[in-house]
Amino acid sequence: MNIEILNTVPISGNYSEVHFGNSFSDSIWVKFTSNNFQEWVGCFEKGPSEFSKVLVDSLNTFSLIISGGIGYFIDVNTRKEVLKIEDYPPIESVILLSNPEYFLVGTYHSIYLINSKNEILEIDIKFSIDGIYFLEQRNNKVIGHLHSHIYDIYGQDYNVGFELDLLTKLLIIDETTVYKHIAFGNYEQVTLK
């Protein structure tokens, strides 16, 4: 399976086309090539942000397309939308987790886990957050940083590092971390639903 965001609108008739959302507004085009070399393109309505990304699961069955902050969970074989995440504020980060395999989605104030059984779990964070950004998975933990006005000091743009333990559902926040600088200090533990 090969999936790519196209830089230009494909010529009409070159591929089988499937449209998602109001595709005649601002949109992105994604080309899907299956393992047996069948090609089709999807046109995905773009949301208000600049963040766009395409991920596919290890079985090449499901794909999560982020188009300007709107998330489209697509069954690649049937070419149908299974789930649409149109949160406001929009999606700001996404990674594919392994063992178990989940798409992990971060919006301005929520975290979503989506699996290939079309199950979605929203993780409710009990304090004010202004952005969640996932960086990587390390074993059973997800590393990232979040921004919150709680950590805005003297008008500077402060972010804090965090670890999300996928087994215990604990979010461990390092309150001494400044954007792109990791330091060890006081931690706050937040239990997630």
Statement: residue 109 has pLDDT above 70: yes
Q: Output the pLDDT for position 147.
A: 77
Statement: residue 52 has pLDDT above 80: yes
Statement: residue 112 has pLDDT above 70: yes
HEC sequence for the chain: CEEEEECCCCCCCCCEEEEECCCCCCEEEEEEECCCCCEEEEEEECCCCCCCEEEECCCCCEEEEEECCEEEEEECCCCEEEEEECCCCCCCEEEEECCCCEEEEECCCCEEEECCCCCEEEECCCCCCCEEEEEEEECCEEEEEEECHHHCCCCCCCEEEEEEECCCCEEEEECCCECCECCCCCEEEEECC
CB of 168 closer than 8 Å to CB of 190: no
Kindly report which listed range (3-17, 38-52, 87-101, 156-170) carries the lowest average pLDDT score.
156-170
Judge whether 183 lies within some domain.
no
Q: Output the pLDDT for position 145.
A: 84
Judge whether 57 lies within some domain.
yes
List b or e across 135-170, with b for residues whose CB sees 16 or more CB atoms inside 10 angstroms.
eebeeebbebbbbbeebeeeeeebbbbbbbebeeee
59-61-64 Cα angle (round to 5): 110
Judge whether 179 lies within some domain.
no
Judge whether 13 lies within some domain.
yes
Judge whether 44 lies within some domain.
yes
Convert the pLDDT of each residue in 171-186 to its tens digit.
Answer: 787 655 443 333 323 3
What average pLDDT score do residues 130-154 get?
Answer: 80
Report d(CA 158, CA 152) in Å as an integer.
5
Q: Which two tokens stand for residue 101?
A: 């395999």
Judge whether 178 lies within some domain.
no
Domain that includes residue 12, residue range:
1-87
Looking at the structure of the chain, the number of domains it has is 1
Judge whether 42 lies within some domain.
yes
Judge whether 101 lies within some domain.
no
